[in-house]
Every structure is written in C-alpha cells, then in structure tokens.
A and B are shown apart, each in its own frame.
Chain A
Amino acid sequence: MAFRKGQRVEVFKKSDDEGWESYMDEFIGCHGVITDPDTAINDPDALVEVSLEDRGTHRFPQDCLRLLDS
C-alpha cells in the first residue's frame, strides 16, 4: 500500500490507466485526502479513493497521485 488513509495528496498528472475518465482532466493540480486506500491486497495497481478539496470524492489510479507530506 503506497497510500494510507488521511494522507494529503495531489493529482499531479493524467493517468493512462483505464480507470482515468475524461472528466478527471480538470482535477489535475487539485489537492485532497486519501479516504479509502487500497485496503485489501496492497496492489499498487488498485484504484484509491480521494476526497478532493471542493471537487468531490473519486477513485484514481495511483500513478497520478503524489504525497504532499509524509
């Protein structure tokens, strides 16, 4: 598990993963909090749930997220 619940992250780039939908393009640069990480099998490929500041809660591929603090 790369991300843990409560960590602050940034959507820093678009992902080529099929879990990335076109409406997510406008979330690039948004900051948020991990609310449901990959809780089961520690799969770096799993989608993780992020609550973005003022932009709602969405499931993102992990490769488009980076930690803001640790």
Chain B
Amino acid sequence: MSEKCPVSETIARLQETIESGELKNPRCRRIAEEILDLVEDIAWGGASEEHLPTVRSLVQEFEEGAQSAAGIELAAWLQMTLEESGEVFASHITTHNCATGDCDKLTPAPCQMACPAGIDVPTYVTLIGMGKDAEAIEIIRRDNPFPWVCGLVCTRPCEFMCVRGRIDSPVSIKFLKAFAAERALSEHRYKNPPKAPDKGKKVCIIGAGPGGMSAAYYLALKGYTVRVIEALPVAGGMVMVGIPRYRLPREVIDREVAMIEDLGVEFVYNTRFGTDVTMDQLREEGFEAFLFAIGAHKAFKMGIPGEKDYPQVIEAIDLLRRVALGDRHVPGRRAVIIGGGNVAIDAARTCLRLGCEEVTIAYRRTRREMPADVEEIEQAEEEGVRFSFLTIPIKVEGKDGRVTALHCHRAELVRREGSSRMYPVPIMGSDFFIEADVIIGAIGQRVDSECMHELEDLRWTRRNTIDVRMASMETSMEGVFAVGDAVTGPATVISAIGGGKRAAEAIDRYLEGIPQPKMPPVPVRRARVPFIEVPASTKMTLKRPEMPLLNLDRRRTTYQQVELGYAEKDVRDEAIRCLRCDICKRCGECVKVCRDKMGIDALQLGYLDFDHPVQTDFRLTEERCICCGACAENCPNGAMQIEDRDGERILSICGTILNRQKLVYCEECGAVMGPAKYLDYIKKRFHTVGQISADHMVCEACARKRAAAPNLGGLPPSNI
C-alpha cells in the first residue's frame, strides 16, 4: 500500500554493501560506515540540521574515491536517492515523522495523520492527562492557533481514526482540547510564542476566517508584517457568522483572535476587496504576497416558483449572519427550513431560540441520509425541532405579499441504473402543504467570486472554487495564494486552519525564493512525552464520558452554550484512555513472537488491525503471560517494556500494565531468577532450573557450583 521510505531503503542498501565485503578500499568503507551512522540518526529522529549537508558531502567524497564496481554502483545509487528524495530526508529531520511507517521510531499516530492541521494529538492528550494543560495548549498552537474554537466545533477527523475506537469508543480528543484551552486561559498561561525578527516584508490576507487568520498567525511568528482585510465588522468569518453562539460563544473567538492581534497583525474591518480596496493599491503599499481566504458565503437558490416573490423566503446563512451580529427579531411564527446539513440544523435551532413557535426541517431524503452531525440532529429534536423527511418542496405559496405555506411532494428513494446512489423521486398526487410564515433555504453555499473580477489571470475550478495546488495553496497567479472554503467549497474549520498553516509556509518560501514542496507536508512530532502508568483493568473499564448539556428550557430560549464541558476528573481519566499510537506503531511483532515463537499467545490486542479489528482485552494478558520479555525484546519502538521493580517483574505496553508477577531469587547468591511462571516454562523446556531440589530455588550458576562441589573435594584450590 505505502511506498517505501527512501531513508530506510538507504540504510538497507548501505548495510548490505558494507556487510558483503565488496568495499575493498578501507577509506571508502569508513566513509560508507559514516554515512550509515548519519542516515540511521535521521531514521531514529536524532538528526540535526547539519546531518543532511554532511551526508551529501560524504557521498560526494565516497563517489570520488570509489574504485570497485560495488563502490561505483553504490555511489551512483546514493546520489540518485538524495537527488530524488532529499525532501523526504529533510522532512524526517524537521518533522520527526516518517509517513510510510518504515522508520520504526518515527511512525506517526493515526490521529495526528488524520488531523488536517497535523496536530500532535497523543502528546497533548498525554500532557492533559498529566494535568499540564498549558503545555498541551503550547503543543497544539504550534499547528493550530485556535485550540479553544476547535475544542468546541471541530469535526474531529482525529476521533474517526482513533485506534481506541477499535476497542470501544474513540478518545474524546475534541473536548479535552477545549478543557485545556479554558484552563490555560484561566490560569493566565495561554501565551503566544516569541516572534522571529522582523523580515521587512508585507503580506496581505483577504478574509478573517479561520484559514486567513491561521496564516496570519504563522506569518507574524515568522517575522512578516501582516494585514488582514475583512468585509464584515468582526473577525472569525464563518466561525463567527455561520456557527451559532450556543455552539461557540463569541468570547471564545474573540479571545483567540486577540492573541493573533497581540502578535502585531493588523485587522481592517468593513473593507471589501475589489470595492473598497484593490490589488494595485495594496501592491503600491508594498504588499508582496496575497492570500485569499474569502470563504463561501453565497447561498444556492432553491429554484422553485415563488422563491423570489416574498420577503419571508430567506437564506439560512443570511439569518445566521444577522443573528450573530446582534439581530434578535423573530423571523415568523412558523418556520420551515429546507435542507439536511448542519446549516439547516443551526438555522432551525436559532429560529427556536428567536421565538418561532413551530420549526420544521423539510428534507428530501430520510434521516439516514442526513449529512448533519448526529449529535446536532439529536439536540435539535430534543429542543423541539420537527422533521419532515422524504419531502420535496415544489412551490412557495403566499397571499397578500406574505408566505402562507410550502407546497411539497412526498418522495421515495430510487436507485438509478448504474449508480449506488439513492435519488429522491416525487410521488405523483402526493401533494401536501406545510404551513409557514417564513421559509429558509439551507441547501448549500458557494464562493462569491464577484469581488475577484479584477484578478483576470486567477484560474477557477469547474466547481467555482479557486484552483490551487493543495501542497502549497499557490494559485495560477504568482504571489497569490488561497485557502479555506474559497478553495474547497464549504468545508470544515480544521481543514481551513490546516490550509492556512500550509499557505503561511508556502508564502514564506515564495518570499525567500525557496522552491515549493510537491507533497502536502508530513505532520511534525512535537515531543516524546513519557507514558502514564495505568493498570490494564483501569484502561479497559474507563469509558468515554457523556457531555453534560444545558437544561432544555434554557436551550429553547437563550444562546447559552449547550455543551457544558467535562469535569476535571473526567478529563484526566479520559486522557488516560489514549493508547499512545505515537509510540506503538501496531506492527504486531509482540503478538507474533508471543504466539508463534514462545507458543504462549498471551496478548489479546485485536485493535492492531485497521481493517479487521477483533476483540482486545489488556486484562487477559496476565492469564497466560509468563513475563519472559520476548515481546519487549522484539518491540522496535520501546512501546512494550519489561522491568524488575520492587520485587516484581512488570510488563507494560505504552504505560498500561499488562502483567506483574513476584520475582523469585536464588537462595544461594540472591540473583534474580524471574517469576515462578517463567521458571516453570524454562524448566519444562530445558529441565535445568531447580534440579537440585524442588524446595530450593537456585540459579543456574549456583546449581552448577553445587553439582560440581563433590567432585572438586580432593583438588588443590588453584584448580577449582
């Protein structure tokens, strides 16, 4: 599935050639060994910035001195590998991660790989488990300047890939992040990192959404002068005007935006690009690079008769924006929302809070096909939102200039030939009416490209989004970059943040004259924190906590935050459920050696397989395990560990104690002999231990001495 890692391939090639003895020239052999040492450092995460230039110069030296056929061939191979894959070697050094997983120590965790911003999840979750919330936030902000915002509204791809989900349920990564951010702020320990010295170069960002502001943050840290132009009177973009306050309080956004302002980023509000300011004006002011993060704020029309005839037919995104900016007028007594996504749910729940008496969501398909988050749908139902499934709107009905109803057809789902997709088809004669005073369209948004008309050379996709190379967010115009929904269409906050971080890196490269990467960057391993020790029974029995919610009456009438957050004990316990996949690469070597070589089969670790996970129970290990240590010996990464401590031999995987057995000591010399189960196993196999007497345990050396003693009785001391 994965391509081979050129770093580990280089190690194998060097080892093979050196061990073959074909490098006859001692100087060449020494240089090859030096190259091997340095490349091994890179594969183990122990390399510095000097390593790659040194490897390149040693390869050059090796090539000049190579005389044998094997030496010449190796030199050519090394030169070619460094030429083609130098970027991968450099990535290993800077990120401490190997995307292919070939370099054992650098295999990244699935949660980190899944995060569009590449946050080092296992590290910050473990730090939260240790109670080090500010340190956790510091780790998160290296990849995402909005930990509190994301802790409340992230779509959490990390949790979908969480390996713990193969055992029971994923670690509640999102809510842990929110807790840590809040706690770090309340302790006044949520701080910006130091900025690099001023580079004397200016970057303009158009749009103060999560993508634009993330780029602003990382560019400011790199020493650029950054100005953010925003059409709205507030920062946040869709996070501010698309997500209702009961999911994301304004305070949260404002606090994290203020952190970016504190870095010296200038925000210019109520300024629309293309109308209030032009590219030429900005260039004249000295801006050398531009990032467009204009979002997707224009709603699709429903395309049904009557839609344009009544002022009570409105767009969900306009309603949400108006409410976010302070409007609290009731849109109508009976509201019908058309659509099945999160925006439809947000609009419906907002209508309830504004005072609408009846709120109905009309959706063409069934509940099963609804794209909105399950939690959001459930919360909307609890609050009193009604759903009309298999409902196709065909006309807005009205009288005297006011909407009176939505005329609909019942639908059935039909599979079309050659397609796995189910399509809603109207049932003729099934007409019905949903009485309404306001009808709200929530069928999707698109990019408003009108403001971009002056950029004639900017290429657009057929989806009407800005065409970019996703590795660098470069557009078709030199010095012009783009991120967020303007590039992807309506997408997620974390996707925009990841894009903003990539764009900042690419803008830096552009302004420094460094070539752009061909691939999206590999996430960076930020630390290698110690394991949290926990018994297997605790690891298995801790359950993901339920999120406490605001009471229903308040949810129907106020914009107070619905999800109240975890209590501290729940947070610390939840963090302990993490399996530390940044260390355990799930290679299964421990299971194989225990089952196939030792014949014990004590490890019930079914979660190791992504496609076919079977039962996992850490508690079962102690039933059969003899604490021989073969699993730990064969673990390439130090995830599985065995140690003798306080009279016991303790076996653990990433801190989870799988087995602990009392040690037996030699009665003669006091040396550790191992646990009784282990000695029994050895005895059965080799019949050498405990042969003197069943009641007296002595080590092999003492047993040999005892056995030899009678025979040595007549010899002079010097021969003993």
List residues of chain A with CB under 8 Å of any chain B CB: 1-2, 4-6, 18-19, 21-23, 26, 29-31, 33, 35-47, 49, 51-59, 67-68
Contacts and interface: CB of A to CB of B under 8 A. Distances in A.
A49 B520 CA distance: 15
Contacts of B463: 19, 45-47
- Which of B371, B444, B610, B611 counts the most chain A CB atoms within 10 A? B371
Interface in B459-478: 461-463, 467, 469-471
B443 A36 contact: no
A68 B51 CA distance: 43
Contact of B610 (A5, A19, A31, A35): A31
A44 B421 contact: yes
A11 B469 CA distance: 20
9 contacts: A5-B371, A21-B470, A35-B157, A36-B157, A36-B492, A46-B489, A53-B161, A57-B114, A57-B157
A5 B300 CA distance: 23
A23 to B, nearest CB: 5
A39 B339 CA distance: 10
B648 to A, nearest CB: 36
B131 to A, nearest CB: 30
A57 B116 contact: yes
Top-10 shortest CB links A-B:
A40-B444, A41-B444, A35-B157, A51-B114, A39-B371, A39-B341, A33-B160, A51-B157, A2-B421, A23-B519
Interface string B399-424: 00000000000000000000011000
B604 interface: no
Contact of B110 (A1, A21, A44, A53): A53
B155 A35 contact: yes
Contacts of B495: 36, 49, 57, 59
A18 B461 contact: yes
Given A18-B461, A36-B155, A58-B470, 20 more contacts: A2-B421, A4-B368, A18-B467, A21-B470, A22-B518, A23-B519, A31-B610, A35-B157, A36-B491, A39-B342, A40-B490, A47-B488, A49-B491, A51-B113, A51-B114, A54-B113, A56-B99, A57-B114, A57-B498, A68-B611
Contact of B113 (A5, A29, A39, A55): A55
A39 B343 CA distance: 9
- Chain A interface SS verdict (over half): loop
A40 B110 contact: no
B444 to A, nearest CB: 3
B576 interface: no
A56 B520 contact: yes
A38 B461 contact: no
B445 interface: yes
Contacts of B461: 18-19
Contacts of B157: 33, 35-36, 49, 51, 57
A6 B157 CA distance: 9
Contacts of A47: 463, 488-489
Contacts of B520: 23, 56, 58
A27 B431 CA distance: 47
B1 interface: yes
Contacts of B1: 29-30
B3 interface: yes
Contacts of B339: 40
Contacts of A6: 160
A51 B2 CA distance: 15
B421 A40 contact: no
A33 B159 CA distance: 11
Given A23-B471, A54-B113, A57-B116, A39 B160 contact: no
A46 B116 CA distance: 18
A46 B118 CA distance: 24
A21 B469 contact: yes
Interface string B482-506: 0000001111100100100000000
Contacts of A33: 157, 160-161
B640 interface: no
Given A1-B371, A5-B371, A56-B113, A40 B488 contact: no
B11 interface: no
A42 B368 CA distance: 13
Contacts of B364: 42
A23 B518 contact: yes
A42 to B, nearest CB: 8
B421 A39 contact: no
A4 to B, nearest CB: 7
A45 B419 CA distance: 13
A41 B421 CA distance: 14
Contacts of A31: 610-611
Nearest to B520: A56
A52 B662 CA distance: 44
A54 B492 contact: no
A21 to B, nearest CB: 6
B101 interface: yes
Given A18-B461, A30-B1, A39-B342, A54 B300 contact: no
A1 B343 CA distance: 16
Contacts of B373: 5
A41 B464 CA distance: 14
A40 B489 CA distance: 10
A38 B443 CA distance: 11
Interface string B352-373: 0000000000001100110111
B423 to A, nearest CB: 9
B480 interface: no
A21 B160 CA distance: 24
B99 A55 contact: yes
B489 A51 contact: no
B655 interface: no
B574 to A, nearest CB: 20
Interface in B508-548: 518-520, 523
Contacts of B107: 54
B108 interface: yes
B610 A57 contact: no
A9 to B, nearest CB: 12
B115 interface: yes
Interface centre among B1, B108, B342, B461 (most CB of A within 10 A): B1
A68 B274 CA distance: 47
Nearest to B118: A56
A2 B422 CA distance: 8
A18 B132 CA distance: 45
Nearest to A27: B1
B462 A18 contact: yes
A59 B488 contact: yes
Contacts of B420: 2, 67
A39 B490 contact: yes
A35 B160 contact: yes
A12 to B, nearest CB: 12
A54 B444 contact: no
A54 B492 CA distance: 20
Contacts of A26: 2-3
B64 to A, nearest CB: 35
A7 B432 CA distance: 34
